[in-house]
Each structure stands twice: as C-alpha cells, then as structure tokens.
Amino acid sequence: MSSASPKIIRDDDKVRMEVDLRRSLISIVWQGYVPSPDYRAILLQALDLIIVHGLKSWVSDSTRMGVILRSDEKWTLDVCTPMLVKGGLRRVAIVRSMDFFSQTASERMVEATTGKVPYVVEFFNDKEAALAWLAKELKALV
C-alpha cells in the first residue's frame, strides 16, 4: 500500500472506507442505515486495518448513518472497544449524524467509555473540522 495517498478499502452502498498511512488515519463514511451483520463486519474490518497498520486516528462520518440498534451499541462497547484499546488507537473524530437516534446512540457509547479508554473522542458538525482536529492532534502525539 502506497503511503503517498489514501487507499480506498471499500466503497459501496453501506460505507466508504479509506486508509491514509501518511496521516495514520482510517476514514469511514457511513452511507445510510446499516443492518447489524454489516455494521459489525465493517467495524471489525476497520479494527483489523487499525491493528495491521498501527493507525492512530479514526474519523467516522456518521452524517447519513441511520439508527444504531441497542444490540449493536452493546456489541460495540463489549467487543469492539476492548479491541480498539489493544489496537493502539489514540484519537477518534465523529461527524454527527443527522438522525437523532443514531447521534444519541453514539453519545451514549462515548459517555460509557469516557475515562476508561486511552483514546480521545470528539464530535464535530462536519468532516473538515474533524480532520483538522485529527491533524493537529497527530502532531501533538508525535
């Protein structure tokens, strides 16, 4: 994988996923509601990329993401979060969903992990602000 530019890992009706090794970043743009099996598979794929490439930053653009089921919320906290902690992730930027229920679920998950994980999570209203924060944070981490 070339370190010069982001590499598109997946681009379909559920998600666009890119890895940018130069910025130590994984980027996910959710395209709408994602059924439970797909949601979990996408997060596991992202987690694998974070571990394999030692990525430190993650931007999740949830603008168009539909509702996150309670069972997926619980799975994310119980299964995915501990693996993220082991993966060495340092910063997560979440672009707020236009869907109230999806945004509320995201906020609940962040609240449940505050002070319990080594990475910092921030919410943003647009992807540009999220990426600017991650770029500034990455410089501080180096």
Digit-coded pLDDT (tens) for 75-111 = 999 999 999 899 999 999 999 999 898 899 999 999 9
Q: Give domain status of residue 105, yes or no.
A: no
User: How many domains are contained in the chain?
Assistant: 1
Q: Is the pLDDT of residue 1 over 60?
A: no
Q: Give domain status of residue 108, yes or no.
A: no
| DSSP 8-state class, residue 2 | -
Cα 6 to chain centroid, rounded: 16
- The pLDDT value given to residue 2: 46
**Mean pLDDT across the stretch 30-52?**
96
Q: Give domain status of residue 107, yes or no.
A: no
Q: What is the mean pLDDT of the chain?
A: 92
Q: Give domain status of residue 26, yes or no.
A: yes
- The pLDDT value given to residue 115: 87
Q: Give the CATH number of the domain where residue 76 resides.
A: 3.30.750.24
What confidence category does residue 4 fall into, taking pLDDT thresholds of 50, 70 and 90? low
**Mean pLDDT across the stretch 55-76?**
94
Q: Give domain status of residue 106, yes or no.
A: no
Round to whole Å and give the CA distance between 49 and 33.
23
90 phi and psi, to 5 degrees? -115, -30
Please give the residue range of the domain that contains residue 36.
7-99+114-141
- The pLDDT value given to residue 75: 96
